A and B are shown apart, each in its own frame.
Chain A
Amino acid sequence: MEHFATLVALTLAAGTPLVFAALGELVVEKSGVLNLGVEGMMLAGAVVSFMVAAKTGHPWLGVLAGMSAAALLSIAFAVLALSLMANQVATGLALSLFGVGLSAFIGLPFVSIVIEGIKPLDIAGLSDIPILGKLLFAHSPFVYLSLLLFAAVHGFLYFTRGGLIVRAVGESPSSAHAIGYRVVGIRYLAVIFGGACAGLGGAYMAVAYTPLWTEGMTAGRGWIALALVVFATWKPWRVVAGAYLFGGVTLAQFQAQALGTTLPSQVLSMLPYLATIVVLALISRDAAAIRMNAPASLGKPYHPGS
């Protein structure tokens, strides 16, 4: 049982960066925008949070800085893709490539630095309860934060007027415009929110999960987050479930090594990527379900009055 509790804790920890990034991208896509720059924004969030944490000694300040940096990058995307109506796929790719380059460049002096990261909770009494304490009260604060974010995103999208507006903008921007909503403005806010979430995911990896900075440390998690949104057919609870599933797959490689498997580590490291491909194919196979669940105007530029 104790082992099981450890496994659960590790799975949650491994899945949390994906929860942040994918929930953010979900809101972006719900508003009808496809931002392929998640990987770049995560890396920007990771490097900036780590730098600020290392310089100031306040990891939470770093987290805020990382979120702001990623949000700033997302604004660059929004200006190009929403205001100037550039191709969203190309612009998102540019954002990812830019984020990879930028983070490698500014992060170089911080590569071998060790910081005091944000530790998992340790509540006297509660965290020490056998099994239950480990299952409920001993996770990283980010794990609780990601669950809060899930509740907030779900509640916002389905139980508030604002969420209805975001979804309307994503389904039919011209109708939303006709009844008086500022489509581009709302999409800006969604994109910035997505950027901040991606930055939060990156920051969690840099100041809590590892905690260190290495070039390209997100290792494709931004892209996996994008796949997760499709996998989840744009439903928040499935995003979270999928993120933990992938967290579990990432973990499987360490588990397998601990159990003394003869499989080379490289084969085990391939698992999350192969799993993404397989899952994406299985979900996408049902074209009708994808069409029904995907925001109808996803990826299409909108210009009021056109």
Chain B
Amino acid sequence: MGWMSPLIAVAATLAVGFALFSGLGKNPFEAFHVFFVKPVETMYGFGELLLKATPLTLCAVGLAAGYRANVWNIGAEGQLTLGAICGGGVALAFHDAGGAWVLPLMIVAGALGGMAWAAIPAWLRTRFNANEILTSLMLVYVAALLLSLLVHGAWRDPEGFNFPQSKMFNDFALLPNILDETRLNVGLLLALATVAAGWLFMSKSLAGFQMRVAGLAPAAANYAGISSSRTVWAGMLIGGATAGLAGVCEVAGPIGQLLPSVSPGYGFAAIIVAFVGRLHPVGILLASLLMSLLYLGGESAQMTLALPSAVTGLFQGTLLFFLLAADVLINYRVRIVRRVVAAPIEPAAA
């Protein structure tokens, strides 16, 4: 039954969207068409759908591995940024003297960069017992400032008219296109491979099993000798690696250079994707397509309906809310009982 709650949540979110569009004085049917159909009517649009789903899938698969083990990495956005910085740094370092080997090196550097950024909360958690939710989130802001520092300073394109951006990467530092008439690139294959690897790891490997045990029953995991600090490290590093990959895929893909901002919040949206996908790699793949469509729909609504594209963020949050509510209604039976109170009720205060 667990697979039903995402469907219920999507339906409820659509209902809210219907009401919202009506309330804003738009014809809701037309708005739905603009939001959910128009962006993918063309081949190009279809490519964009998969292109935007790529970083979402990558981040969410890695996050899900951690979430299953109760490791709450919510800093994927920062790890993505570090992936972009490290991958982009390699591209810029070998800008004039590179070859086909640069791209693989960028991918490795990006993954390592993401892992390094995720290692900080992991270390603080295992060594100092510091809450990884707060530390990983703080590092998102630090990463964004670090990127801003680089593109405003050392890595700024000297011929870029003083704009805060790096040189455009050389051709050999860009992910090859895989579908004509679109911007779709090899990054998608990387994401699909990650989905497969994520499934194998979570469902078929001992380490994945241990992480799930650690998440579902910490006491049992402890008793069985599963190291909790290893679980934290694994959960954080996997999430960091995939988020770092997502960062490389963005800068070596559709962006092609380093900019002050390399992601419209993919790392945060991936949290929702991970939950909507039931923390399962295949579910995540489907959920990231939906989330990607929300991004495209937001842009389309901005152009056609003069609605702010921020409506995307609104839908994302609503979706997660409904999902959590639907989960409860599916996992529990609702029973109306008379209040169980033992003594006269005190005037509650707060």
CA A64 to CA B128, docked complex, whole Å: 40
Number of A-B contacts (CB under 8 A): 184
Closest to A181 in B: B346
Q: Note all chain B residues with C-beta closer than 8 A to A252.
A: none
Closest chain-A Cβ to B54's Cβ sits at a distance in Å of: 21
29 contacts between A and B (CB under 8 A): A31-B350, A40-B317, A80-B321, A80-B325, A84-B329, A84-B332, A86-B327, A86-B328, A89-B72, A94-B324, A97-B320, A98-B321, A100-B313, A101-B314, A101-B316, A105-B310, A182-B345, A189-B350, A192-B350, A220-B138, A220-B141, A223-B137, A266-B145, A266-B148, A270-B146, A276-B138, A277-B130, A277-B138, A284-B130
CA A188 to CA B186, docked complex, whole Å: 50
Q: A267 to B349, Cβ gap below 8 A?
A: no
Q: Note all chain B residues with C-beta closer than 8 A to A223.
A: 134, 137-138
Instruction: Determine if A205 is an interface residue (Cβ-Cβ < 8 Å).
Output: no
Q: Note all chain B residues with C-beta closer than 8 A to A89.
A: 72, 133
The one of B72, B124, B141, B315 in contact with A270, judged by C-beta atoms closer than 8 angstroms, is: B141
Instruction: Determine if B206 is an interface residue (Cβ-Cβ < 8 Å).
Output: no
The one of A27, A101, A305 in contact with B312, judged by C-beta atoms closer than 8 angstroms, is: A101
Q: Note all chain A residues with C-beta closer than 8 A to B129.
A: 284-285, 287, 290
Instruction: Determine if B182 is an interface residue (Cβ-Cβ < 8 Å).
Output: no
Instruction: Determine if A190 is an interface residue (Cβ-Cβ < 8 Å).
Output: yes
The one of A99, A165, A177 in contact with B349, judged by C-beta atoms closer than 8 angstroms, is: A165
Instruction: Determine if A135 is an interface residue (Cβ-Cβ < 8 Å).
Output: no
Closest to B20 in A: A105
Cβ contacts B216-257/A at 8 Å (1 or 0 each): 000000000000000000000000000000000000000000
Instruction: Determine if A193 is an interface residue (Cβ-Cβ < 8 Å).
Output: yes
Closest chain-A Cβ to B273's Cβ sits at a distance in Å of: 12
The one of B149, B317, B325 in contact with A86, judged by C-beta atoms closer than 8 angstroms, is: B325
Residues A281 and B310 in contact in the complex (CB < 8 Å), given A180-B344, A266-B148, A266-B149: no
Q: B345 to A94, Cβ gap below 8 A?
A: no
Instruction: Determine if B26 is an interface residue (Cβ-Cβ < 8 Å).
Output: no
CA A82 to CA B271, docked complex, whole Å: 22
Most buried by A among B135, B152, B350: B350
Segment 254-306 of A: residues with Cβ below 8 Å from B:
264, 266-267, 269-270, 273-274, 276-277, 280-282, 284-285, 287, 290, 304-305
Q: Note all chain B residues with C-beta closer than 8 A to A180.
A: 341-346
Residues A36 and B139 in contact in the complex (CB < 8 Å), given A177-B342, A182-B341: no
Size of the chain B interface, CB-CB below 8 angstroms: 57
Instruction: Determine if A13 is an interface residue (Cβ-Cβ < 8 Å).
Output: no
Interface magnitude class on chain A: 35 or more
Q: A185 to B348, Cβ gap below 8 A?
A: yes
Closest chain-A Cβ to B192's Cβ sits at a distance in Å of: 26
Closest to B323 in A: A94
Residues A98 and B342 in contact in the complex (CB < 8 Å), given A166-B350, A266-B145, A274-B142: no
Q: A281 to B124, Cβ gap below 8 A?
A: yes
Instruction: Determine if B336 is an interface residue (Cβ-Cβ < 8 Å).
Output: no
Q: B141 to A273, Cβ gap below 8 A?
A: yes
Give the dominant DSSP class at B's interface: helix
Segment 113-142 of B: residues with Cβ below 8 Å from A:
120, 124, 128-131, 133-135, 137-142
Q: Note all chain A residues with C-beta closer than 8 A to B134.
A: 223, 226-227, 230, 276-277, 280
Q: Note all chain B residues with C-beta closer than 8 A to A31.
A: 350
Instruction: Determine if A148 is an interface residue (Cβ-Cβ < 8 Å).
Output: no
Closest chain-B Cβ to A278's Cβ sits at a distance in Å of: 9
Which B residues are within 8 Å of any A CB, using their own CB?
A: 72, 74, 120, 124, 128-131, 133-135, 137-142, 145-146, 148-149, 152-153, 268, 271-272, 275, 308, 310-318, 320-321, 324-325, 327-329, 332, 339-350
Residues A186 and B310 in contact in the complex (CB < 8 Å), given A93-B271, A97-B320: no
Q: Note all chain B residues with C-beta closer than 8 A to A274.
A: 138, 142
Closest to A269 in B: B145
Q: Note all chain B residues with C-beta closer than 8 A to A163.
A: 349
Q: Note all chain B residues with C-beta closer than 8 A to A104.
A: 308, 310, 313-314
Closest to A226 in B: B134
Q: Apart from A27-B350, A220-B141, A290-B129, what 7 extra A-B contacts exist at CB < 8 Å?
A: A80-B325, A90-B324, A93-B320, A156-B350, A166-B349, A227-B134, A276-B134
Q: A270 to B324, Cβ gap below 8 A?
A: no
CA A166 to CA B328, docked complex, whole Å: 26
CA A163 to CA B275, docked complex, whole Å: 36
CA A182 to CA B344, docked complex, whole Å: 10
Closest chain-A Cβ to B309's Cβ sits at a distance in Å of: 9
Q: Note all chain B residues with C-beta closer than 8 A to A36.
A: 133
CA A211 to CA B135, docked complex, whole Å: 29
Q: Note all chain B residues with C-beta closer than 8 A to A276.
A: 134, 138
